[in-house]
Amino acid sequence: MIRSEEDVRAIEAQPFAEVYPQRSPWDILRHQAEVRPDAVAIRYLHDATDPKRDELVTYADFAGRVMGAAKVFRSLGVTADSAVAILTQHTVYGEVALWGAQVAGRACTINPMLKPEHIAGLIEAAGCKAVVIMGVNDELNYWDSVVPALREAGITLPILACDADQPSPGADGVFEEMIAAADGPDIVPEGDETALAGYYHTGGTTGAPKLVQHMRLNEAHVARSCAIMHDLGPDDVVVNGFPLFHVAGAFVYGLSTLSAGGTLVVPGRLGMRNAAFMGSIWKQVERLGITVIGVVPTILATLKATPVDADISSLKWLLTGGSPLPTELADAAEKQVGVPVRNILGMTECAGTIAVEPVHGPRTPMSCGLRLPFTEVAVFGETDGDADPTKRLGAGETGIVALRGPNVAAGYSDPARNVGTFLDGGWLVSGDLGMIDAEGRLFITGRKKDVIIRGAHNIDPQMIEDALLAHPEVSTAAAVGMPDAYAGELPVVFAELRAGSTVSEAELIDFLKGRIDDPVALPKRIGMVEAMPVTPVGKIFKPTLRAEAIRWAVAATADKLGVDATVEVDDKLATRVKVPGSDVEKMKDALAGMPISLTVMAA
């Protein structure tokens, strides 16, 4: 049981092989199929309003389908040095495709909501030999738009349809049927724990694929470590509505639960956007005996606002990560639901986990928790603006957060991108500013790496800036995150226009719609400035812009509530909001999800 840094060290006193006996996802799944073949690995909710439609997949059945998928992929030419592109929601056959691809070769899970030309670039960069896409259905049908566009973009690979409700035009096969018909000897994965298992795309410049290379041990280590830190066991029933193209869905909540022999509850194609499931969340906890719910802070805010209308005594923990966890939100959720909230910090480049607040330890405001067993987390000083491993800082000192260990990936598929992120000595630079206290807890205090976090999606500001600078009337552009009580942050951009320009905000938004590949990266607002704030050396000074974005967000919330508010933001972005005394609690509640240092007081 992990409560403190001392407990982590006690685990490290054991041989690594005893703590992590399975060194790949397939080893984990095969082991569980052997020791608990009839236990339920996945409960998939086809219809949250009709329990009779729940699909229960045992560990033995699951492992059998994964091996069948591997045989299908091998028959299509997938080998150890090639991959399968997977564009599905979090479904049973999405899981089967992910792990089956790793047995036959490598998996490349892709957000199907990206623009087709960007998807095509990722498919080519990953060296894919086959593609699996969710077929035509009434809930979320991207087959009819994505598949023709991929063909037009020159993707000639076999494209298989899965999880369809009706025929999918242009499919080269139905994945489920092909698995059922697969025969021949089982496939033995080639290579050891350091072999590449998968590619995960992360925020990058428009049109330029940016793929993280996961080794098998990266994924297995994170899965087992999260199970240890969250004290998961065979009796746990864990809600995982994250997509599989996100490391949280695949490893932090998904493979971790399977490594413990527990049951994953997957709330249909729409995940946590499933209105029927979320509208009956507490009744679902009672019906299914749910013990853990994994969410991002935006969904935690929804749970906080949902009255408990059922017996939820089975529920033990609410786990959250993906974006900063506001303390007031965590406090309010714990008060409303009656169970502890624990935080996680991760990134794609380390299979989803840097630090975890152990469920049996205290929740410390603004802390991300403790490092994983057999890893190092350090805080470095800078040399010429970059993290310098020779300048390791002590407890309580603020610098750039870095880590190394079995969770750290093998770099990007394009080695040129490794500079400044993957350093000599095995260090991965997170891009966050933070400090480690005397008890070993990690705190994030800011960002060195300029990234916007919307929900659990990382957005590269340069992607937005480059797209906007292509407009002939824009001379300078700077994108930042605007705090949002639901999404954590929303992308906004400031533009300095050329002299005499009359272009409007609406015209610039329309211009960006055709140039930004990821819909979640489209700015919610464009602010026109006469002159960008700059540092003494002429670099754009984004804290000034972030302060303005905070004012926008708070003012918009006050307007929506009909509250007269005065907003003050200091040079460290600490925000004070003054409202009439009768409106303080209402304003606090509305702003609770915003990841900012916030004080609401009576005017």
The helix/strand/coil state of 437 is: coil
Assess whether pLDDT exceeds 60 at residue 353. yes
Angle in degrees, CA 583, 589, 591, rounded to 5: 100
Give per-residue pLDDT as tens, 212-222. Answer: 999 999 999 99
Q: At the topology level of CATH, where does 5-404 sit? A: Rossmann fold (3.40.50)
Backbone CA torsion sign across 64, 177, 170, 241: negative
Assess whether pLDDT exceeds 60 at residue 207. no
If you average pLDDT over residues 381-386, what whole number do you get?
88
Q: What global pTM score does this model have? A: 0.84
**Residue 420 one-letter amino acid:** G
If you average pLDDT over residues 448-465, what whole number do you get?
79
**Residue 470 one-letter amino acid:** A
Are 195 and 216 spatial neighbours (Cβ–Cβ below 8 Å)? yes
Element containing residue 224 per DSSP (H, E)? helix 216-229
Give per-residue pLDDT as tens, 291-347. Answer: 999 998 878 888 988 999 999 999 999 999 866 677 878 888 999 999 999 999 999
The helix/strand/coil state of 453 is: strand
Domain ranges (residues) in the chain? 5-404, 452-602
Beta bridge partners of 40: 58
**Mean of the per-residue pLDDT values for the chain?**
93
**Residue 184 one-letter amino acid:** G
Determine which of 19-28, 61-70, 108-117, 351-360 has the lowest per-residue pLDDT on average.
Answer: 108-117
Between 448 and 554, whose confidence is greater?
A: 554
pLDDT the model gives residue 448:
63
Assess whether pLDDT exceeds 60 at residue 147. yes
Give per-residue pLDDT as tens, 259-273. Answer: 999 999 999 999 998
- CB neighbour class for 502 (10 Å; exposed up to 12, middle 13-18, buried from 19): exposed
pLDDT the model gives residue 205:
43
Which of the listed CATH numbers 3.60.150.10, 2.60.40.10, 3.30.300.30, 1.10.760.10 matches domain 452-602? 3.30.300.30
pLDDT band at 150 (very low <50, low <70, confident <90, very high): very high
Cα–Cα distances (Å) from 225 to 103, 231, 255, 303, 422, in that order, read 22, 10, 11, 26, 22
pLDDT the model gives residue 302:
84
Assess whether pLDDT exceeds 90 at residue 551. yes
pLDDT the model gives residue 323:
65
